[in-house]
C-alpha cells in the first residue's frame, strides 16, 4: 500500500481576452444601435460568469485589452467593474496594447481604483513581470506597459532563475498579450503588439500560455491558445476564424492542457453575397428572411450585391435595403449592381403622348445612357429620376 499523496485535481479556469469595453463602433450611424453594440460587450461578461460556473472555474484570466483605450468614460469603468464583480471568482487581468499600464492609464485613475474596490473586489491587476503564486496555480504575467512595444513581453521567462523558488506541483500559466512570431500579424501589427516568440519560451517549465490580441480562437501547439474576444466585433474572416468565445481550461503540472471553447456572444456578425439574377430582389428578400426571420436588433450584416436591375427593381431594392437597415443593428453595404431601364420602361418614358417634353428629354438621355463612361452613368441616373417622377 503506497503512502504517497494522491495527485491534485486539475486546475480549472476561464481564459478570455480583448473585451475592449467602450469600443466606439463609429461606423454605425444610429446612436441607439451603436449603444447596443457597446452594451453587448458588457453583457458578454454575464455570459462569462455563467460559463465560469458551468465549468467549475476557480478563477478567470483576462489576457489584455479589458478596455478599448486608456481613457474609457467613467460610465464604462463603472459598468465594467460591476460586471467583473458579478463573475463570482477571482479575475486576474493584465494590461494589453489598447489599455496599457503606462503613465496616465485607466489603471492609475482614482475613479477606477474606487469603483474596483467597491464593485469588483475580486479583480486583481497584474502589472509586474514576476510570478504570482496562487493556492492552486502559478500565474506568469507579461503585462503591456506601453502601446507601442518592440520587445517580447515574455522575454523575462527566458531568464534561468524565474522558476527556481516556485512550488513544484502547481501548474504554471503564462498570461500575455501580443502577436505570435510567424502567425497572424503584419510587420506593423507585430511592431505595435509586442511580438511573442513562443519557440524561445522554456515550455517544459510552462503548462499553458493564455494569449490575447488575436480576436479569434486559435491554438498554437502544444500549449498556447488565443481566446479571442467574447463578443463579436468584426465580420468573419473565413477559414477557421471563430470569435465570440471564451476558453474553459483544465490543466495539471506537467500535463497537456484540456481546452474547450465556450460560446459567449449574443449579437451575431454575418457576411452575405448575392447576385441579382432571375430571382431579382424577391430572391434577395427571401434569402435574408431565411437568415434572420423576424429578429430585430440582434445581427450585423455585411452585404455585397452584384447583378443588374431595371428601374422597377431598383426601387424595390431600395425599399428592401431600407427595411433591413432598420431591422439590423448595422448593414454594411457594398452595392455593385447596375441599373438600366427595361425596354418597356424606356418605351414608357420616350412615348409620353400627354407630356412631349418628358418624352424628348427621355429620348436624349436614352441616347447617352448606352455607354460605360461617366456621362452614361449620369444619364442612367437621370432616367431613373425621371421614371420615379412619372410614376408619382
Cβ atoms of 374 and 342 closer than 8 Å: no
Length of the chain: 392
Q: Which parts of 310-374 are beta strand (E)?
A: 330-335, 338-339
Query: CA 227, CA 390: separation in Å to the nearest integer?
Result: 57
Q: What is the pLDDT of residue 190?
A: 46
What does the pLDDT average to over 258-266?
97
List, for residues 93-114, the tens digit of each pLDDT value: 999 999 999 888 999 999 999 9
Does the pTM surpass 0.85? The reply is yes
In this structure, are strands 224-226 and 245-251 parallel, antiparallel, or unpaired?
Answer: unpaired
Using a 10 angstrom Cβ sphere, with 0-12 exposed, 13-18 middle and 19 or more buried, the burial of residue 242 is: middle
- Give the whole-angstrom CA distance, residue 147 versus residue 298: 33
In this structure, the number of other CB atoms found within 10 A of the CB of residue 218 comes to 18
Distance CA 63, CA 305 (A): 38
Cα gap 4→25, rounded to integer Å: 57
% of the chain surpassing 90 pLDDT:
69
Mean pLDDT of the chain, nearest integer? 89
**Average of pLDDT values for 266-271?**
95
**194-230 pLDDT, tens digit each:** 789 999 999 999 999 999 999 999 999 999 999 999 9
For each of the domains in the chain, give its residue range(s) and CATH number, in order of start: 11-263 (3.60.21.10), 268-391 (no CATH)
| Residue 358 Cα distances to 3, 335, 341, 363, 384, angstroms | 102, 29, 15, 8, 13
**Which single residue is written with the C-alpha cell 437621370?**
382
Neighbours of 32 (CB within 10 A): 9
- Report the pLDDT value the prediction gives residue 178, as an integer from 0 to 100: 93
Which is nearest to 323 in space by CA: 301, 354, 339? 301
Query: How far apart, in whole angstroms, are the C-alpha atoms of residue 278 and residue 225?
Result: 46
Q: Are residues 320 and 281 in contact, defined by beta-carbon separation less than 8 angstroms?
A: yes
Q: Please give the average per-residue pLDDT across 4-33, as a whole number.
A: 91
The span from the CA of 61 to the CA of 244, in Å, is 16
Q: What is the pLDDT of residue 343?
A: 76
Mean pLDDT, residues 63-75 taken together: 96
In this model, does residue 1 exceed pLDDT 70? no
37 pLDDT higher than 80: yes
What gap in Å lies between CA 232 and CA 229, rounded to an integer? 7
331-390 per-position pLDDT tens digit: 999 999 988 777 787 777 777 655 787 778 877 877 777 767 778 778 777 877 777 777
Can you tell me the mean pLDDT for 160-166? 88
CA atoms within 13 A on the CB side of 315: 13
More confident of the two residues 204 and 61: 61
pLDDT at 189: 46
Strand pairing report for 132-133 and 138-142: antiparallel
Residue 91's H or E segment, with its range, is strand 91-93
Instruction: Give the C-alpha separation, 352 to 139, whole Å.
Output: 80
**pLDDT of the residue at 280:** 86
Residue 177, pLDDT above cutoff 70 = yes
Give the sign of the dihedral formed by CA 121, CA 93, CA 255, CA 171. negative
CA-based R_g, the chain, Å: 28
| pLDDT beyond 60 at 295 | yes
What is the per-residue pLDDT for 390?
Answer: 72
Over residues 135-150, the mean pLDDT reads: 89
Q: Please give the Cα distance from 323 to 269 (Å, whole number).
A: 18
Amino acid at each position: 500500500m503506497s503512502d504517497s499523496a494522491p495527485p491534485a485535481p486539475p486546475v480549472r479556469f476561464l481564459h478570455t481576452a480583448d473585451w475592449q469595453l467602450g469600443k466606439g463602433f463609429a461606423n454605425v450611424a444610429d446612436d441607439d444601435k451603436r449603444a447596443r453594440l457597446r452594451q453587448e460587450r458588457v453583457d458578454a461578461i454575464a455570459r462569462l460568469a455563467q460559463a465560469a460556473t458551468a465549468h467549475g472555474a476557480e478563477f478567470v484570466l483576462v489576457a489584455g485589452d479589458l478596455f478599448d483605450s486608456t481613457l474609457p468614460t467613467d460610465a464604462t469603468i463603472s459598468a465594467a467593474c460591476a460586471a467583473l464583480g458579478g463573475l463570482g471568482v477571482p479575475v486576474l487581468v493584465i494590461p494589453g496594447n489598447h489599455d496599457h499600464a503606462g503613465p496616465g492609464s485607466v489603471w492609475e485613475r482614482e475613479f477606477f481604483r474606487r469603483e474596483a474596490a467597491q464593485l469588483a473586489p475580486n479583480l486583481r491587476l497584474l502589472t509586474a513581470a514576476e510570478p504570482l503564486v496562487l493556492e492552486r496555480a502559478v500565474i506568469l504575467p507579461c503585462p503591456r506597459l506601453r502601446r507601442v512595444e518592440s520587445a517580447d513581453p515574455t522575454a523575462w521567462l527566458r531568464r534561468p532563475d524565474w522558476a527556481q523558488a516556485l512550488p513544484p506541483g502547481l501548474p504554471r500559466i503564462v498570461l500575455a498579450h501580443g502577436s505570435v512570431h510567424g502567425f497572424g500579424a503584419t510587420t506593423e501589427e507585430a511592431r505595435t503588439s509586442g511580438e511573442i516568440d513562443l519557440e524561445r519560451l522554456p515550455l517544459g517549465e510552462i503548462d499553458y500560455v493564455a494569449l490575447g490580441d488575436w480576436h479569434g480562437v486559435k491554438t498554437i501547439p502544444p500549449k498556447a491558445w488565443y481566446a479571442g474576444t467574447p463578443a463579436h466585433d468584426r465580420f468573419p474572416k473565413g477559414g477557421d476564424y471563430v470569435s465570440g468565445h471564451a476558453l474553459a481550461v483544465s490543466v495539471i503540472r506537467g500535463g497537456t492542457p484540456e481546452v474547450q471553447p465556450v460560446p459567449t456572444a449574443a449579437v451575431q456578425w454575418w457576411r452575405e453575397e448575392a447576385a441579382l439574377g432571375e430571382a431579382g430582389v424577391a430572391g434577395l428578400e427571401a434569402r435574408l428572411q431565411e437568415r434572420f426571420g423576424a429578429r430585430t436588433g440582434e445581427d450585423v450584416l455585411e452585404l455585397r450585391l452584384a447583378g443588374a436591375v431595371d428601374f422597377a427593381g431598383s426601387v424595390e431594392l431600395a425599399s428592401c435595403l431600407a427595411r433591413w437597415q432598420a431591422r439590423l443593428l448595422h448593414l454594411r453595404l457594398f452595392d455593385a449592381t447596375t441599373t438600366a431601364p427595361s425596354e418597356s420602361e424606356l418605351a414608357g418614358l420616350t412615348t409620353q403622348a400627354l407630356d412631349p417634353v418628358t418624352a424628348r428629354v427621355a429620348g436624349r438621355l436614352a441616347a447617352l445612357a448606352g455607354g460605360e463612361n461617366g456621362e452614361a452613368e449620369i444619364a442612367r441616373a437621370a432616367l431613373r429620376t425621371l421614371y420615379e417622377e412619372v410614376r408619382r
